[in-house]
Structure 1
């Protein structure tokens, strides 16, 4: 299964971090490779795991502990399956790792087990591909079935709930229980080998035959799915008891006070990759659940008529969240209304109930073309365990305050069918119809839900527009309404010191309940006013009110961007002519076709040496020597006779599998690997030593191959500047999407960007570690205020963005501006310390080539000060005016 760009990059970032952690230390690797915090655009300090008293757990100090933040709909579990191979190769150095996969509930455990055991499921297919089909998946309740043979020869994945291990008294959990079936794992332990601390039996004469002790022997990889459910005073201690080699948490909303967020994927990236539907068109209904349900039914019907025009089969489904028993709109009430004579008279075959008691979806394939189901009534989707990307419309008639329930249901309607953008725009959106006490009440609430699902505040506000009603009424049109927020306070806010202009936007009046006040806020207000209103609340309510006011402000200040207006933003591309055909230049077009031989340009392993005493490999990289410690596989210490014997041919095949290249034949690669190993054999290293260090050798071989490919790329790239067939043709253009902008996070600066193509620039650092304004940010503001600029965009390092070819692939210039006279201005900012670096010299050369070939193009690589002493604004103005 091909991975999306954000998934590939997440996997690569984890691999880079784990490799660096081996040689530089975990905290140092995190600082070098973690995505910056969304608010500060700085990498936070790495946090070691602690106990409930806030004390560090020494045993986990050198254990990588990172979180991968992926919003709902981004495929966290699929990514987790890929992370197992990544960690095995780059940190664990095991061919057959033991994995403990933790989930928050028994329902999710069963779903995960079913998926991982099904050989046709994408999760299991990835695991089988990664480990040659040698995979065993076990229920945490059936650990007695785990044998020594499996641990030695297969990748074993144990699916367990957090509750199974999270308990202070270990004697009351099966996870820690003495089990005779596990005795073979312990009786064969070598008497003279150093063993980890194990829980002892009551008589203290030997180790307890428990699964917890088995984990201590094998130091598993721990993956925690939906990790936001793992936060508790006991979580650090639980991880310690699992004796992990590494901990990877998967979540949409990590606990930012304790988690080490290595990777941040945004909702914008998911939308750009066509994983989710956006925006969520929200319609609030003030006239009760009958009206909300009627509108939702009409919306679903409209979508089904549109879907018939698509080439793929799509049957839009309406998901209804009913009230619990005792409420007005219960499951039974809604079902009777939909199917009864006095209601909508919908066929009962169309309507299914999915609750804890009524599981009418069991055994039904919702994707089948002969499936009649179009409406599903539920209360809390997670308990029912179903999932279907055909869900398009959510109708919530429930007054429940359970944020989790709404977020789970909303997450169901966000998933895009077939992960592919549809031809008709209406099918690229999700729809929510909700019962609301007044206009705007649910808008802020649903904005909060989207934030909890991993959206940034800006993404949540942008992607929750109010939709016009399908049934016209005599009321004010939603597009003309002013955003309003209503709060109830037990204390009257003091507005004495708020800006005078805000007083007309804030109304305070007594509530119906004695001693309380209703605070109404219309439109955006200043931060001082936000603080003044929040002061009337205490504790958690104060934090919630401040968040609600900030979300309200975000919605109220949204401007209609050039992208939303449909303004076309096109950039002519550097292209190559093949006869009458003109195509954008990609580096592979300049390379010779066919296979190549690494022996022609790749080096050998003569820079690799082994320190027997320290059990480390040392790699001479010219500028520095990198030391890599070998990781001892469990088989070596505890499973004698089960791992098998290695021949030299086995090592060559194993290495070829790790460094395989699509443009190198297998036999050619194996021959080169043998040549690369020759210097180590001449130094006297035994086959056993090479086998023990095979993961480090594989990483070094990959580096040699990368260096050789760079050489080949440089040679091919030189031809770019001499070929007459290189052109910039106005008919071959790149167009920025007016829908998708795949930023990881919006620029956190409190600035209104008047000319940016999208609402705010993405992935733009605001301040440096020393608190000073970041140089790229100052360059962006200089572009935004330049009078000759009509519109500009922060160009992102993403395949969907504008790029130039380089020797190693592509470079993505920082900024693209369209001037008022129609010219296109490409700007790549570089600080003085990086301006003369060979990579940036090469980038500058290709940018200037593009400008030379394009009569309407300008290119500039500005610095803090250029050779003439001009600042950034002056350099930009000089390039535009040409004097």
Structure 2
């Protein structure tokens, strides 16, 4: 990793890279990088949710293969959801295949090795393709190393005369790609993975910091920062709006009554969005997008209570009884999982998804337009990841993500708005629920912040421009 201007060709990373020299070179070009934070060169790309981190990961692999002849890659996923998603995205002939259109991979695509297949591939004598992408679930590795144990990947294999881990560690060109790297920076599994000693580490996350008792601690190796404010300004994601009630006074109202009010407001908002989306699609010859609502519950008991309420005749006369699913550790039915995985499809009846803590990173949908947070979320990472579930665009050049008012969410949005204002970028809108559905949505000024964006799908002018 020798010095290179941004317009010139960089040298191929090797095991002999001098970390100190590499740090000096990169810091001279990118002053924001002050420490690799690992025993090998590692750089973080902080990208807003919804702008294509997985695509960028594929671009990294294609570039390193084509320009530098690197053939071995190790991709880390933080959990089972993202693990399965990455396997699908790196599998040829799938809907979101990351190497689509790359001629070098058209005839000989990279072979995938996963936590379930590496032993079979060893037994079969390897593969015939020069490029290998290993995809592993760091959460599984972390569970295997508890109590000082060794992960299964380090078990001796007679077929190769060593463990698969040792085989990978011996490769002269192994590159480590870490998806959602904020999730496992200090885990035992990550410490074990560090022993692979890759020639280069590439981290991707929308939240480049780790939570601590003293607050968020920023990464020191961020080489590219593309925040939500800029993604909004460039039109790559929906524009969030916090929805409030005009002159609302909670005095004399029970927590249950306020909760029901939030749910009902959210569903009314959802119904307005649904009409606007269908109208837009029919007037512009686009496919109809079926929006849905995400409800964030406190725990599984609370989620079950919310499900029963929404399924009752007292809630919108039972109209949503068969349109709600509960997704958490207490629900394992295959039918529920299938409905969740196909929630973007118009023949899927689900319009309300209730979850506790399972649908964060890695759950990529484009038709989430309303979020109803009914749990405390003091951690900045949790708030950003929850909002991030609804930022992806289905096709509209300008669309809105509505979030029912919640103290922690509102504070986070205000902070984001201030940061955006400092950068001269788009800001978070605050919308009164009474004004949803009007031809123009009134925006409420908070703390001297004058929101510059409209509230998405309820604003006809915004949708048609």
> What's 1:175 paired with?
153
Cα 1:165–1:390 change in 2 (3 A) is: closer
Query: How many angstroms apart in 1 are the aligned matches of 2:178 and 2:105?
Result: 21
Match of 1:465 among 429, 440, 444: 429
Q: Which one has a bigger Cα radius of gyration?
A: 1
> What's 1:355 paired with?
328
> What's 1:341 paired with?
313
Q: CA deviation at 1:110?
A: 2.3
Contact 2:77–2:83, Cα closer than 8 Å, also in 1:
yes
1:558 partnered with 2:438: no
Query: How many angstroms apart in 1 are the aligned matches of 2:243 and 2:180?
Result: 27
Secondary structure, in 3 states, of the residue corresponding to 2:429? coil
1:106 partnered with 2:80: yes
Q: CA deviation at 1:299?
A: 0.7
Query: How many angstroms apart in 2 are the aligned matches of 1:151 and 1:28?
Result: 39
Match of 1:368 among 345, 370, 373: 345
Q: CA RMSD in A?
A: 3.9
Cα 1:18–1:263 change in 2 (3 A) is: farther
> What's 2:196 paired with?
242
Query: How many angstroms apart in 1 are the aligned matches of 2:119 and 2:410?
Result: 51
> What's 2:259 paired with?
289
Match of 1:86 among 59, 63, 73: 63
1:305 partnered with 2:275: yes
Contact 1:391–1:412, Cα closer than 8 Å, also in 2:
yes
Query: How many angstroms apart in 2 are the aligned matches of 1:397 and 1:463?
Result: 24
Cα 1:265–1:402 change in 2 (3 A) is: closer
Contact 1:282–1:466, Cα closer than 8 Å, also in 2:
yes
Contact 1:225–1:250, Cα closer than 8 Å, also in 2:
yes
Secondary structure, in 3 states, of the residue corresponding to 1:66? strand
Contact 1:128–1:135, Cα closer than 8 Å, also in 2:
no
| Superimposed CA distance per residue, residues 665-719 of structure 1 (whole angstroms, 9 cap, x where no aligned partner) | xxxxxxxxxxxxxxxxxxxxxxxxxxxxxxxxxxxxxxxxxxxxxxxxxxxxxxx
Contact 1:134–1:154, Cα closer than 8 Å, also in 2:
no
> What's 1:271 paired with?
232
Q: CA deviation at 1:346?
A: 1.4
- Which TM-score applies when normalising by structure 1? 0.42
Query: How many angstroms apart in 1 are the aligned matches of 2:429 and 2:237?
Result: 16
Q: CA deviation at 1:235?
A: 8.0
Q: CA deviation at 1:323?
A: 2.8
Q: CA deviation at 1:273?
A: 4.3
> What's 2:131 paired with?
155
Query: How many angstroms apart in 2 are the aligned matches of 1:33 and 1:20?
Result: 18
Cα 1:456–1:479 change in 2 (3 A) is: closer
> What's 1:216 paired with?
169
Structure 2 unpaired stretches of 5+: 210-216, 437-441, 455-460
> What's 2:439 paired with?
none
Q: CA deviation at 1:367?
A: 2.9
Contact 2:325–2:352, Cα closer than 8 Å, also in 1:
yes
Cα 1:407–1:361 change in 2 (3 A) is: farther
Q: CA deviation at 1:242?
A: 1.0
Q: CA deviation at 1:253?
A: 2.2
Cα 1:339–1:235 change in 2 (3 A) is: closer
Q: CA deviation at 1:233?
A: 7.5
Contact 1:33–1:262, Cα closer than 8 Å, also in 2:
no
Q: CA deviation at 1:430?
A: 0.9
Q: CA deviation at 1:432?
A: 0.7
| Superimposed CA distance per residue, residues 555-587 of structure 1 (whole angstroms, 9 cap, x where no aligned partner) | x243567x99xxxxxxxxxxxxxxxxxxxxxxx
| Superimposed CA distance per residue, residues 441-467 of structure 1 (whole angstroms, 9 cap, x where no aligned partner) | 65214446x69xxx8685799633321
Q: CA deviation at 1:416?
A: 1.1
Cα 1:149–1:30 change in 2 (3 A) is: farther
Query: How many angstroms apart in 2 are the aligned matches of 1:170 and 1:214?
Result: 21
> What's 1:140 paired with?
115
> What's 2:42 paired with?
65
Q: CA deviation at 1:479?
A: 6.2
Cα 1:310–1:114 change in 2 (3 A) is: same
| Superimposed CA distance per residue, residues 692-750 of structure 1 (whole angstroms, 9 cap, x where no aligned partner) | xxxxxxxxxxxxxxxxxxxxxxxxxxxxxxxxxxxxxxxxxxxxxx99xxxxxxxxxxx
Structure 1 unpaired stretches of 5+: 1-11, 35-42, 51-56, 184-208, 423-427, 473-477, 484-555, 565-737, 740-883
> What's 1:431 paired with?
402
Cα 1:406–1:27 change in 2 (3 A) is: closer
> What's 2:26 paired with?
30
Contact 2:13–2:200, Cα closer than 8 Å, also in 1:
no
Q: CA deviation at 1:265?
A: 1.5
Contact 1:300–1:393, Cα closer than 8 Å, also in 2:
yes
> What's 1:254 paired with?
208
Moved more, 395-404 or 340-349: 395-404
Secondary structure, in 3 states, of the residue corresponding to 2:135? strand
Count of matched residue pairs: 413
Match of 1:391 among 353, 357, 368: 368
Q: CA deviation at 1:48?
A: 4.1
Query: How many angstroms apart in 2 are the aligned matches of 1:258 and 1:398?
Result: 28
| Superimposed CA distance per residue, residues 853-880 of structure 1 (whole angstroms, 9 cap, x where no aligned partner) | xxxxxxxxxxxxxxxxxxxxxxxxxxxx
Query: How many angstroms apart in 2 are the aligned matches of 1:268 and 1:480?
Result: 19
Cα 1:235–1:557 change in 2 (3 A) is: farther
- Give 1:604-615 correspondences, 5 Å limit: none
Q: CA deviation at 1:391?
A: 0.7
Secondary structure, in 3 states, of the residue corresponding to 2:156? coil
Query: How many angstroms apart in 2 are the aligned matches of 1:215 and 1:320?
Result: 43
Secondary structure, in 3 states, of the residue corresponding to 1:416? coil
1:416 partnered with 2:393: yes
Q: CA deviation at 1:227?
A: 0.9
Moved more, 295-304 or 458-467: 458-467
Q: Which has the higher contact order (CA 8 A, sep 6+)?
A: 2
Secondary structure, in 3 states, of the residue corresponding to 2:299? coil
